[in-house]
Structure 1
Amino acid sequence: MADIPPDSSNPATGVVQRAKDILLKPKETWPVIAAEPATTQSIYVPYVVLLAAIGPVAQFLGGQLFGFTVLGVTYHPPLGGALLSAILSYGLTLAVVFILALVIDGLAPNFGGQKDQVQALKVAAYSATAGWVGGIFGLLPALSAIGILFGLYGLYLLYLGLPVLMKVPQDKASGYTVIVVIVAIVLFLIVGTVVASLMAPSLLSIRG
């Protein structure tokens, strides 16, 4: 299969256009994504690699420029620790997308769908677009909660994409989505716990 998507001649423009399409007209965009030839590499580069970096970079910059407020105390994470946390968060996010794709692929037959690892990776990657774009609010820690709303919209994108790409009957799409969402929540809780454990020593020292 060809590993070059139709818009790869201009990667930056292609990423922006695809993000706009999946956010603003998902019902029309999922069938287009389903029909595109792709490989793991072509899905990750440049789309996932670029968009998954938005949240970690924004949080890193926001923490350094504005700081985080906890229990009325504002602190700026040490540069080294914050940078390490951002890098780790980014790397784990890339891994989570792949793991979630494996789960989506493995569960498909249980809901009347068809196994297809590439299509499953498309679902995991493109449904995450909303959450990644919402990560930009991490630049202003006080507004970072707004990113949660984008993440919730991502659940809707997932619900729309699963039946189209994994060939799941529409009447089973809700159950399929719920299970995938639960797995995704667990995975991201693990990521959050790992990253938070790195930040805890800095926070404790400042509060002390």
Structure 2
Amino acid sequence: MSWLEVVVTNRFGIEGANMKNRFNILYKPEDTWKHIKEKNFSIPQVYLRVLIVMALLPPFFAFIGAVYSGWKIGNEDPVKLTWESALSISIAAYLAILVGAYIFSRLIHWMAKTYGSDASLSDCFALVVYSCIPLFLVSVLSAYPVLWLDMLFTLVAVAFSVRLLFLGTPIMMGIGDEKAFFFSNSIITVGLVLVVAALAMSVLFWANGVGPVFTR
């Protein structure tokens, strides 16, 4: 048992430490959603066993790609960032993922009553985090950025995440398939709004001097 599992066991209970099959969601989604719903994992458990680790993947591999590989379009020289700039952006992105997932789940919990759901905030948080696992995993491609390849696999990961969301919503929210369909669409809409808001905030930071520093 790892030190993290020991901490989870002592602080949050043995069930949190036994979430070993976190990737079952990829190939047995419905069974995994039912398991998560039955176990009623708390927000700290989901953070410690899933999100804290998975959220490291996008900023870590993006850092490697931005500093060592660089983005290349056509025959142009690759565009790279200074490691200081890439590090600060990666840390900010990591914290944004950790905070953003909680805010997203809060918004889902706020909407839940509209669709006749009495799901807990923990259920909403688990729905957000586990639905995003394909997006976390596909980020490994950013270590060696190839624009067309990254876009292709990202679209596949988005489709996979949307499928997980549609399968998980009726189970985690405890509502019928028809209501879950409309609820899932509302969740996607809110997610898109949050993405646009994050991009707008990035532009504001860049406009005020807090942005990427290129090596060429």
| Aligned mates of 2:30, 2:193 — CA distance in 1 | 27
1:57-110 deviation per Cα after TM superposition (whole angstroms, max 9, x unaligned): 011111222101257342110111111111111110111110111111111111
What is the SS of the residue equivalent to 1:144? helix
Aligned mate of 1:144, from 147, 150, 160? 150
Counterpart in 1 of 2:190? 183
| Aligned mates of 1:116, 1:130 — CA distance in 2 | 24
Q: CA deviation at 1:191?
A: 2.8
Pairing 1:6–2:15 present:
yes
| Aligned mates of 2:130, 2:94 — CA distance in 1 | 16
Counterpart in 2 of 1:163? 170
Q: CA deviation at 1:186?
A: 1.8
Pairing 1:85–2:89 present:
yes
Q: Could you list the runs of 5+ residues in structure 2 that have no partner in the other structure? A: 1-10
Label 1:123 to 1:132 Cα distance change in 2 as closer, same or farther (>3 A): same
Counterpart in 1 of 2:55? 52
Q: Map residues 66-77 of structure 1 onto 2, 5 A cutoff.
A: 66-70=69-73, 72-77=76-81
Q: Map residues 3-152 of structure 1 onto 2, 5 A cutoff.
A: 3-4=12-13, 6=15, 8=17, 14=20, 17-19=21-23, 21-70=24-73, 72-142=76-146, 143-145=149-151, 146-152=153-159
Counterpart in 1 of 2:213? 202
- 8 Å contact 2:70–2:80 — kept in the other structure? yes
- 8 Å contact 2:127–2:165 — kept in the other structure? yes
| Aligned mates of 1:201, 1:61 — CA distance in 2 | 14
- 8 Å contact 2:81–2:212 — kept in the other structure? no
Moved more, 111-120 or 64-73: 64-73
Q: Could you list the runs of 5+ residues in structure 1 that have no partner in the other structure? A: none
- 8 Å contact 1:5–1:37 — kept in the other structure? no
1:155-205 deviation per Cα after TM superposition (whole angstroms, max 9, x unaligned): 1111111110111211111111111111112212333444565485535x8
RMSD (Å) for aligned C-alpha atoms: 2.3
| Aligned mates of 1:138, 1:38 — CA distance in 2 | 31
1:78 is matched by which residue type in structure 2? T
Label 1:181 to 1:152 Cα distance change in 2 as closer, same or farther (>3 A): same
- 8 Å contact 1:3–1:37 — kept in the other structure? no
Label 1:83 to 1:187 Cα distance change in 2 as closer, same or farther (>3 A): same
| Aligned mates of 1:174, 1:135 — CA distance in 2 | 28
Percent identical among aligned pairs is 20
- 8 Å contact 2:89–2:212 — kept in the other structure? no
TM-score of the pair, normalised by structure 1: 0.85
1:127 is matched by which residue type in structure 2? S
- 8 Å contact 1:89–1:195 — kept in the other structure? no
Q: CA deviation at 1:152?
A: 2.1
- 8 Å contact 2:40–2:123 — kept in the other structure? no
| Aligned mates of 2:62, 2:52 — CA distance in 1 | 17
Q: How many residues are paired up?
A: 198
TM-score of the pair, normalised by structure 2: 0.83
